[in-house]
Amino acid sequence: MVYNVNTFIKPPASGDKVIFIVNNNGIVTMSIDPYSSTFFHKSKYVYIMTDGRMNINNTLEFETSQYALDAVARLNDTKRLFMNNVLSECGLDPNYYTTGQSDARYVNIIGDTMTGDLTITPLSFLGGDTYERNTGVDSTGKLIIGNQFRIEKIDVNTSIFVDSFLKTESYSCVWFYSVKDGVNLRTGQVSAIWEDGGSEIVFSHTTTNSINNTDGVDFIVDSDGGNTYVRLFANITNGNWKVRILRIFI
């Protein structure tokens, strides 16, 4: 049934407790609780959720998507008539409950496309250093913690550990890195593998040729005294370096 956007709501009368939906002949086809219902449109259909549940039988079809959007506005206007007195007596703003509900406010549970960016605040060190772990999506669509870490250290002019983690997190990894001190630049890769319960760590280091001179920075992989952590050590002999690292567990 295709509803007329101008006449599908029966004008509320004194004593009405629900919103009556009528067909083109003025016959009531359904009633809607105005206090617990919200309205959304998708294409030329208006969906009605009551108490957080959607009944597929409470779906209104209109001629166009614009008419469906207009119908949502009309339903919210009618809902406001019922809620104004009740909410005002409670000191609440009726507009909060009856405006801004549209297709952009939900994702269809049987399949839909979200637009825009989903932002997750990364973990960061203080002092200008950055430490961020990536996120991914598994086969069920669930957000999961990834195995990549982006690390950035700035103004590195003394030897420091630029990365450290528990040996139990994996048994091998690769660090892709770049170093920069003014016009002196280099990129490379450090690969490491270690024993979970032992002290042995083996690593290799390959690099590109340098632009100008990067002899002042080198990398070493070792373990702490208790053989608990794997550590990437930047050995600085001169310069003031920006160090960027992408660590990937394998």
Per-residue pLDDT tens listing for the chain (250 residues): 899 999 999 988 877 888 999 999 999 999 998 888 888 888 899 999 888 787 778 899 999 999 999 999 999 888 887 776 655 555 545 555 445 444 444 455 555 566 666 666 555 444 457 777 777 777 777 777 778 889 999 999 999 999 999 999 899 999 999 999 999 999 999 999 998 777 889 999 999 999 999 999 999 999 988 889 999 999 999 999 999 999 999 8
CB 173 within 8 A of CB 250: yes
* C-alpha distance across the termini of the chain, in Å: 57
Can you name the residues that pair with 49 across neighbouring β-strands?
A: 38, 54
Q: Is the pTM of this model over 0.85?
A: no
Rounded distance between C-alpha atoms, residue 235 and residue 238, angstroms: 9
What is the 8-class DSSP label of residue 169?
A: G
In order of 31, 80, 89, 186, 195, the CA distances from 245 in angstroms are: 61, 55, 59, 12, 23
Stretch (H or E) spanning 85: helix 65-89
Stretch (H or E) spanning 143: strand 143-156
Q: Which domains does the chain have, with CATH numbers?
A: 19-105 (no CATH), 130-249 (2.60.40.1680)
